[in-house]
């Protein structure tokens, strides 16, 4: 038989269902976020690994200028190498109907017969090219989709200087090209960079690679020592123009994916705990006040001879039902939402399938934190009630002593009675009112912090493309060319200004830490593309030495004044020792800057540039693009608008996209908190309000006493919420910052205003809801019972 206490419990829950749901929702959303984010990270990691595994992504990539095929056997003989696949790759320009700029592409060979031993492809449409049909190609699905191309279509491309026509026979995806980034750019763009697969013999013919390869892929056995294999491969390929083998971790697509997942993982580690902590804090406050309202019933149960443990257990069950109910609903919601998010990300990362994983630890953490916070809140109050003799507990608390507020008498005279009631209650019970205000403030802080993060994303984009990069067009050359080429660009009609830039691919290392990236050389008087710090101030480039971004310096564990080993991965491939002259905060990427002259001096290649930033007359853009395309040294041309769109797309669909979900959750919590505060105020004051009604006050006048209190508490909470939100935004911003971009924290007036509006709106709606409840309450009936 269900005991009468348990029946009381069920009916109490049914009675307070509105409040119970509001409390449960606050903690539930906190848990939801935790479960969703951890599930997302676990699923994406698992899916990525499964994809790599099934399509045999190589462990080591070894590019080379031109190596004879017989070296494949030597590579396979390196201890630890379990499989070798050689191939031919090359750069191509693809004509796109209706576009002034050709798209860039990478051509990759497929074995003439059979599947590729490593870096297999996933055919999504059509068939593989047939042996002996050199004009048949596969196209990367994302690129084909971006241009409306499909099997049966014809594609014109320039390979190795020769323009040829191809027939698309199929579309494919590959774990190697999840992310495709045009050369010289940071962010991926499906439309402007494609991959063409064709038979090895056809591609070898196009690039003069018959009997040879220019890239070797290696798979390693489980026990292999990666560094030793890379060294051995480098030694084998050095004589044939090897530019340095690198591990999968350095592979560009994998690096982006991993960086994105790492970004999500950091967000998942840092942001949900903040939300959960705030939700737990609120739960603690709310449950405490709820149990406080049950004081008379607690006293009565004790009068009957129920022990403290029995009464405690009863209320613990009540609190447990609400907290665990909320937490479980949060888990469920987290699974559903997490699953939906994983699908969105699967599409974004172009995984051909999805492995959905949940992190059981997240469930346990969520439920435990909820139950612990609620129990702490409930038991604290229950203990306080236990400390009273039951005779005292059964009486409502003695009327609070308002005599201290008499010193506000002069001020009070200016107010009517209801206003005085509001004022005195606040003055008399500063701790309770402070708790309510703090609760609302922490709810608001989440909204403030999330709005600050939105602002931070915009700031990063604006600073990068409005202040750092003021050019219209960026030109990338096929290799470092003489700076005289710039004059050629400057002479073009419609080109207003040309500035040189030199990107040098290099592995920067300091002790055991290394980073595969590039050094950017800029002229001292740069105006189109400038090295700027996070505050927007120019970074002076010294006569010698590097200026590192803080992100990169942290990766390398290096400080200003120390020296870096720079392993240049192009040209003569010198290894340089360069001092770090300064470290600066930046917002995008992890750049290493150097004065152009100093860089060229260090490389002993005076007067060389690898690209240029241009401002142009937009009316002549098409003619300029046509001219650029005809220049043999130009590898790529990108418009700033395209690049800007690419980063915005990345931020809105990658790890950054979760900020919208988190923002929504922040708003739900904010609203839940304000509503709870209003409900509890109602519960605490029902008797006072009833008395007012009995004395002839109208519903509106009685409601004023309640809502006036809520209004004052809310107003007090606004500045506190802004301050806490400001502090939180730093923690959350670091959670969203990755090596790809950094998100500045801090808050502007607009974010604060918006968050304040959210809170005021929530207060208004809560006030109306509570007023509705108040109007429905049989106030006279309240007075008839007890007391």
Partner 1 sequence: MRQAQPTGGTDRAPGPTAPPAYMACGVKKIYGEGRSAVHALRGVDLEIPTGEIVVLLGPSGSGKSTLLNILGGLDRATEGTVSFRDTCLSALDDAGLTLYRRRHVGFVFQFYNLMPSLTATENVELVTEIARDPMAPEDALALVGLSARADHFPAQLSGGEQQRVAIARAVAKRPEVLLCDEPTGALDSATGRAVLSVLRDVNAELGTTVLMVTHAASTAGMADRVLHFADGHIRDVVINDTRLDPAEIEW
Q: How far is CA 777 from CA 693, 697, 705, 769, 773, in A?
A: 11, 15, 16, 13, 6
Minimal distance in Å, beta carbon 9 to partner 1? 9
Type and span of the H or E element at 415: none
Query: From the CB of 785, what's the least distance to partner 1, in Å?
Result: 7
Find the shortest distance in angstroms from Cβ 14 to partner 1.
8
Q: Which burial class, exposed, middle or buried, applies to 772 when counting CB atoms under 10 A from its CB (0-12, 13-18, 19+)?
A: exposed
Residue span binding partner 1 (CB under 8 A) among the ranges 44-52, 132-140, 189-197, 298-306: 298-306
Contact 446, 670 (CB under 8 A): yes
**Tokens at 536, concatenated:** 């927007």
Residues 127-166 that bind partner 1 (CB under 8 A): none
Nearer to partner 1, 275 or 386 (CB): 386
**What's phi and psi for 700, nearest 5 deg?**
-65, -45
Alpha carbons 476 and 478: distance in angstroms, whole number = 7
Nearer to partner 1, 8 or 497 (CB): 8
| Contact pattern from residue 707 through residue 726 relative to partner 1, giving x for each residue in contact according to CB under 8 A and a dash for the rest | --------------------
CB of 300 to partner 1, least distance (A): 5
189 touches 66 (CB < 8 A): no
Position among 336, 391, 527, 768 found at the interface with partner 1 (CB under 8 A) = 391
DSSP track, 685-741: HHHHHHHHHHTT--HHHHHHHHHHHHHHHHHHHHHHHHHHHHHHHHHHHHHH--SSB
Least gap, CB of 401 to partner 1 (angstroms): 10
Return all residues near 685 (Cβ < 8 A) that are at least 6 apart: 705, 706, 709
Which residues, in sequence order, are CB contacts of 96 under 8 Å at separation 6+? Answer: 102, 103, 147
Output 15 or 225, the one with its CB closest to partner 1: 15
Pick the piece of the chain touching partner 1 (CB under 8 A) from 4-12, 89-97, 601-609, 740-748: 4-12
Residues 299-338 within binding reach of partner 1 (CB under 8 A):
300-308, 310
Q: Decide whether 388 or 461 has the Cβ nearer to partner 1.
A: 388
Instruction: Read off the tokens for 517.
Output: 């990236």
Size of the site for partner 1 (CB under 8 A): 29
SS3 content of the chain, % helix, strand, coil (to 5): 55, 20, 25
Q: Report residue 6 as tokens.
A: 């348990």
Rg over alpha carbons for the chain, rounded to the nearest Å, is 33
Identified binder of partner 1 from the candidate list 390, 521, 611, 654, rule CB under 8 A: 390
17 binds partner 1 per the rule CB under 8 A: no
Which residue among 525, 577, 630, 787 contacts partner 1 (CB under 8 A)?
A: 787
> In angstroms, what is the minimal distance from the CB of 8 to partner 1?
5
**3-state SS string over 566-582?**
EEECCCCCCEEEEEEEE
- Residue number with CB closer to partner 1 (76 or 694): 694
8 binds partner 1 per the rule CB under 8 A: yes
Which residues are CB-contacts of 417 (< 8 A; sequence separation ≥ 6)?
Answer: none
Question: Which residues, numbered 70-99, are part of the site for partner 1 (CB under 8 A)?
Answer: none
Q: Is 3 a binder of partner 1 (CB under 8 A)?
A: yes
Q: Give me the least distance between CB of 394 and partner 1, in Å please.
A: 7
Closer Cβ to partner 1, 5 or 72, answer by number: 5
Of 296 and 567, the one with the shorter C-beta distance to partner 1 is 296
Closer to partner 1 by Cβ: residue 305 or 696: 305
Tell me whether residue 303 or residue 780 sits nearer to partner 1 (CB atom): 303
Binding residue for partner 1, selected from 154, 368, 389, 694, defined by CB under 8 A: 389
Residues 359-388 that bind partner 1 (CB under 8 A): 386
Interactions with partner 1, residue window 571-630 (CB under 8 A): none
Which of 182, 189, 186 lies closest to 145 in space, CA to CA?
A: 189
**Binding status of residue 296 toward partner 1 by CB under 8 A:** yes
DSSP secondary structure letter of residue 123: E
297 contributes a contact to partner 1 by CB under 8 A: yes
Cβ 11 to partner 1 shortest distance, Å: 4
User: Closest by alpha carbon to 551, among 563, 534, 565, 567?
Assistant: 534
Report d(CA 142, CA 352) in Å as an integer: 12
The reply to whether 785 sits near partner 1 by the rule CB under 8 A is yes
Binding site for partner 1 (CB under 8 A): 3-5, 7-8, 11-12, 15, 296-297, 300-308, 310, 386, 389-392, 394, 785-787
């Amino acid at each position: 038989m269900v005991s009468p206490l348990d029946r009381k419990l069920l009916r109490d829950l049914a009675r307070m269902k509105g409040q119970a749901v509001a409390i449960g929702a606050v903690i539930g959303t906190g848990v939801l976020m935790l479960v969703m984010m951890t599930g997302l990270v676990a699923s994406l990691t698992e899916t990525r690994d499964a994809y790599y595994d099934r399509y045999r992504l190589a462990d080591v990539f070894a590019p080379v200028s031109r190596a004879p095929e017989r070296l494949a056997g030597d590579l396979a003989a390196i201890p630890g190498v379990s499989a070798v696949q050689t191939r031919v790759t090359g750069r191509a320009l693809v004509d796109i109907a209706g576009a002034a700029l050709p798209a860039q592409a990478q051509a990759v060979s497929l074995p003439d017969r059979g599947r590729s031993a490593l870096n297999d492809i996933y055919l999504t449409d059509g068939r593989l090219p047939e042996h002996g049909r050199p004009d048949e190609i596969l196209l990367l699905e994302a690129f084909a989709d971006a241009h409306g191309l499909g099997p049966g279509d014809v594609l014109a491309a320039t390979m190795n200087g020769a323009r040829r026509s191809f027939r698309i026979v199929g579309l494919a995806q590959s774990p190697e090209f999840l992310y495709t980034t045009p050369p010289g750019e940071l962010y991926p763009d499906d439309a402007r960079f494609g991959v063409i697969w064709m038979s090895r013999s056809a591609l070898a013919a196009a690039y003069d690679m018959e009997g040879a390869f220019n890239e070797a892929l290696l798979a390693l056995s489980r026990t292999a020592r990666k560094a030793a294999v890379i060294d051995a491969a480098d030694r084998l390929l050095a004589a044939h123009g090897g530019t340095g083998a690198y591990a999968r971790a350095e592979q560009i697509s994998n690096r982006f994916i991993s960086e994105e997942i790492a970004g999500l993982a950091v967000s998942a580690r840092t942001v949900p705990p903040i939300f959960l902590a705030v939700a737990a804090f609120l739960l603690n406050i709310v449950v405490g006040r709820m149990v406080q309202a049950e004081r008379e019933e607690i006293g009565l149960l004790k009068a009957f001879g129920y022990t403290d443990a029995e009464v405690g257990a009863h209320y613990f069950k009540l609190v447990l039902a609400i907290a665990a109910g909320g937490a479980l609903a949060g888990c469920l919601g987290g699974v559903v939402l997490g699953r939906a998010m994983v699908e969105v990300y699967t599409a974004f990362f172009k995984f051909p399938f999805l492995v959905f994983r949940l992190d059981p630890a997240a469930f346990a953490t969520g439920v435990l934190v909820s139950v612990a916070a609620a129990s702490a809140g409930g038991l604290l109050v229950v203990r306080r009630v236990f400390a009273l003799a039951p005779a005292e507990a059964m009486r409502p608390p003695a009327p609070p002593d308002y005599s201290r507020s008499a010193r506000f008498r002069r001020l009070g005279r200016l107010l009517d009675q209801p206003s005085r009631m509001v004022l005195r209650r606040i003055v008399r019970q500063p701790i309770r009112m402070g708790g309510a205000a703090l609760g609302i403030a922490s709810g608001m802080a989440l909204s403030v912090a999330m709005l600050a993060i939105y602002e931070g994303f915009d700031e990063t984009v604006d600073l990068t493309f409005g202040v750092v990069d003021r050019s219209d067009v960026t030109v990338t050359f096929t290799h470092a060319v003489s700076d005289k080429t710039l004059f050629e660009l400057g002479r073009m009609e419609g080109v207003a200004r040309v500035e040189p830039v030199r990107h040098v691919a290099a592995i920067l290392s300091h002790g055991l830490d290394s980073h595969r990236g590039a050094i950017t050389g800029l002229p001292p008087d740069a105006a189109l593309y400038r090295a700027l710090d996070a505050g927007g101030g120019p970074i002076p480039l010294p006569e010698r030495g590097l200026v590192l971004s803080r992100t990169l310096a942290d990766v390398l564990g290096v400080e200003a004044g120390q020296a870096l080993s720079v392993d240049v991965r192009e040209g003569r491939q010198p290894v340089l020792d360069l001092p770090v002259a300064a470290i600066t905060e930046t917002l995008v990427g992890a750049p290493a800057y150097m004065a152009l002259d100093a860089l060229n001096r260090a490389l002993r290649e005076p007067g060389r540039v690898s690209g240029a930033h241009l401002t142009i007359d937009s009316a002549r853009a098409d003619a300029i693009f046509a001219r650029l395309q005809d220049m043999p040294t130009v590898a790529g041309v990108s418009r700033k608008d395209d690049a800007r769109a690419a980063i915005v797309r990345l931020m809105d669909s990658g790890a950054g996209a979760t900020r919208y979900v988190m923002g929504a959750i922040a708003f739900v919590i904010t609203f839940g908190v304000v509503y709870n505060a209003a409900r509890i105020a109602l519960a605490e004051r029902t008797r006072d309000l009833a008395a007012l009604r009995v004395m002839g006050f109208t519903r509106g006048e009685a409601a004023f006493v309640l809502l006036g209190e809520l209004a004052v508490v809310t107003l007090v909470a606004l500045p506190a919420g802004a301050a806490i939100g400001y502090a939180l935004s730093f923690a959350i911003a670091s959670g969203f910052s990755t090596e790809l971009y950094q998100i500045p924290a801090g808050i502007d007036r607009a974010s604060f205003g918006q968050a304040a509006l959210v809170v005021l709106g929530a207060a208004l709606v809560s006030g109306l809801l509570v007023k509705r409840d108040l109007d429905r309450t049989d106030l006279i009936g309240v007075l008839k019972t007890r007391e």
